Amino acid sequence: MEDRNETLDMAKDNSKQNGTSKDYGADNIQVLSGIEHVRKRPAMYIGDVGVRGLHHLVYEIVDNSVDEALAGHNDFIYVSINQDGSVTVTDRGRGIPTGIKKDTGKSALELVMTVIGAGGKFDKNSYKVSGGLHGVGASVVNALSEWCEVEVRREGKIFYQKYKRGVPEAPVKEVGKTKESDHGTKTTFMPDSQIFKNREFRYDTLADRLRELAYLNRELKIIIEDKRSDKRDEFHFKGGIQEFVVDLDKEANRMALFKKPIYMEGEKDGTFVDIALQYNNSYQENVFSYVNNINTHEGGTHLTGFRKAFTRTMNTYATKNDLLKSAKNIQLTGDDYREGLTAIVSVKVPEPQFEGQTKTKLGNGETQTIVETIVNEKLAEFIEQNPSTAKIIIEKAIGAATAREAARKAKELTRRKSALDSYSLPGKLADCSISDPEHCELYIVEGDSAGGSAKQGRDRRFQAILPLKGKILNVEKARLNKMLENEEIRTIITALGTGIGDDEFDPTKIRYGKLILMTDADIDGAHIRTLLLTFLFRYMRALIEAGRVYIAQPPLYLVKRGKEQVYAWDDEERDDAIKRFEEKGKDNIMVQRYKGLGEMNPEQLWTTTMDPENRTLLKVSIDSALEADKIFSTLMGDEVEPRRKFIESNAKYVRRLDV
C-alpha cells in the first residue's frame, strides 16, 4: 500500500511539472496552419494513412481534372505511376489560374496548392457542377507529399512551382512558351514517408477508379500507365453508363434478360439525371449510385427517387395491362423489382449536400423529386413502346415475390421454433457470459473437432463459439427462401441476432462486436470461408462495412527442439525457425504440419489463434463494391472458365495456404 501511495504522489508532482494539472490556460491553446493541421490529422481529410488513403491522393487530383470536364473544358486525363514511385496527373483543362490575387499578393496557383479551402469550386460561374466541393483536394495532397510540382499551361505560357511538404520552394515562375491552344495542368507528387508507411501505388486499384470515371463521363478519354512495368490502359466509353451496365453483368458472368439496357436521361433546374439498367438471371441486386462522379455507397435521395418511381411506374403498367394474374394476390414491392437488377444511377447536382466529408450519402430533397419526375416520364414512355421488355421485368418480379412469400413463411417457422427454446439460441452455440456486444466476439469454426478445442481453449467471458457442420449453401445460386432451408445458415442468422432480408435485417442488433471466421488453412477451409463471406457480402454487407468481420490466422507449422518451440504461419517462417534452431545443432528438430484446427489442443489454439495478445486477425473490408461484386460472382457463379482464369491470375498472391 505504501508503494502505491508513493507512486500516486510522484504522479501528482509530475503533473505539476508538466503543466497537466492546474496550469492549463490560454498559452496551452495551439493554433495550427491549414497545412500543419492536415499533416497532424491526415485521416480527417483522406480517411486513413493506409492503402486507401494513399490512393485517395491520386483521386483528389484526378477529380479536379474531371471537374474541368464537367464544366466543358477538358476531354483528356493522363495518369502515370512513375519509376520513383511518384504519380503524375495531366489534363487538357483551362489550367489553374496563375495571376496574382490582389488581397494576398500571391499567385492563385500557390493559393490553390497551399491554402486549405482555396479553390474555384465555390464560384458557380466557374463550376456549375463539381465533385470537389470542399476546396481541400490539391492543397491536402501537397501537404501530405514529400515533394510536389505543378506545371500549368495557359495563355500561351508555361508556369511552374515546386513544394516541399506543402511549402513553396520559390514563387510561381514562367518557364516557357507554348501555343495558345495548348492548355492544362500537370501535377506530380511523391507521398510523404513520414505520413505513409506504405507508398507503393497499386495499378489495378487506380485503373478501376479511372475506368469508372470514364464510364460516367463518356466525353472523357483517360489513359493510365505504370512506368514501373509495361502496364497501360486506355478508357473511353462513348456509350457511357449503358456500356457500364452491360460490362458489369458480362464481367460477373450474369446473363442479361433483354438485348439492350433501358436508358433514361433528363435535366431539370440544373440537375442532370443519367440512368441505365438491365435485368439478369441472378438473384441479387447490383445498383451503384453516383453524385457528381462520387460513388455514394450509402445511397441517398437520388437512389430513393429512382426506386420509388420505378416501382410505381412498373406496378401501374402491370395493373393496367392485367399482368399480375400469376402473382396470386401478392402485391409487387420495390424489393421484388430489385432481384436481378443491375443499374447505374448518376446525377450531376449544382449544390449537393452530403452527409459528412466522406460524401457517401446525398441529402438533397429536391433531387429526389427531380429523379422521380424524370423516371416516371421516361420509363413509362419506354415500356409502352417495349411491352415485351416490360413483361420480362414483371415476370422476374413476380418470381421474386413468390419466393419472398415463401421466405416470410420460413422465417416465421424459424421464429416459432426459436420461441420454444428458452434461450432462443442455437444449441450448438457456446455463448459468452458478457452481454455487451462491443466486448464480445463470435468465432464461426469449421467442424466439431476444432469447435471442441475452441470451446475449451477460449476465454468464456467474451468469446463465443459456433461450430459448423460441413459447407453452407452457396447463396450466389439461391433465393432467400431456399437459403433459409439451410440449417447452418439459419443457425448463423439466429446466433448473430440481426435478422435477415431487406424487411428485417438490422446490423445494430448484432450480438457480437467481432465476427471471426476460423477455418482450416487448406483448400476446404478456404472454400468454406469463401462461402461464408459470400453469404455475409450478399445478405449482411453492413457488417463488413462496419468493420465487424475478421478472418483468423491459424499457424501452419510448429517447429520444436527440446523444450523450445516456434509457430510458423508460412513456409518462410518455418524455414527461419529451423535456421535459428540450427545455431544450436541440427539434432532433434521436429516440424509438425497442422492439417486442420482440430489437430491443435485447446491451449495451442488459444495461444496461436484466439488470444488477443498474440493472435493475428485479418479485417475484411470492401474497398470497391463493384470489384467485390465481380469477384464473388466469378468465384461462386455458374461459369467455370472465368473462375479458372481468376484463380490462375491470382494464385501468386496467395499466402498461408496449406496445399
Annotated catalytic sites, by residue?
A: 446, 520, 522, 524
Residue 552 identity: A
- Give helix 523-539 / helix 625-636 axis angle, nearest 10°: 130
Cβ partners under 8 Å of residue 129, min gap 6: 67, 70, 71, 272, 292, 348, 349, 350
For residue 257, give the DSSP letter.
S
Place of cell 416490360: 390
With contact defined as beta carbons under 8 Å apart, do 189 and 89 qualify?
no
User: What are the phi and psi torsion angles at 284 (to 5°)?
Assistant: -105, 160
**Half-sphere CA count of 430, side-chain side, radius 13 A:** 21
d(CA 83, CA 228): 5
With contact defined as beta carbons under 8 Å apart, do 574 and 556 qualify?
yes
Residue 584 identity: K
Residues in a beta bridge with 187: 89, 150
204-207, long-range: CB < 8 A, 24+ apart:
205/51, 205/55, 205/623, 205/624, 206/55, 206/58, 206/79, 206/81, 207/233
Residues in a beta bridge with 354: 362
Instruction: Indicate the Cα dihedral angle 436, 440, 446, 450, nearest 10°.
Output: -120
User: Sign of torsion, CA 507 510 514 518?
Assistant: negative
d(CA 487, CA 493): 10
Residue 539 identity: Y
Place of cell 475506368: 211
d(CA 222, CA 234): 6
With contact defined as beta carbons under 8 Å apart, do 589 and 559 qualify?
yes
H or E element, residue 376: helix 365-385
Angle at 516 between CA 512 and CA 520, to 5 degrees: 155
Length of the chain: 659
Helices (H), 386-476: 387-420, 448-457
User: What are the phi and psi torsion angles at 557 (to 5°)?
Assistant: -135, 155
Instruction: Indicate the Cα dihedral angle 618, 622, 627, 632, nearest 10°.
Output: 60
Q: Which three cell numbers stand for residue 488?
A: 447452418
d(CA 570, CA 555): 7
d(CA 278, CA 635): 22
SS (H, E, C) 294-342: EECCCCEHHHHHHHHHHHHHHHHHHHHCCCCHHHCCCCCCHHHHHCCEE
**Cα–chain center distance at 266:** 29
Place of cell 489513359: 223
Question: 573: exposed, middle or buried (C-beta count within 10 Å: 0-12, 13-18, 19+)?
Answer: middle
Angle at 398 between CA 393 and CA 403, to 5 degrees: 130
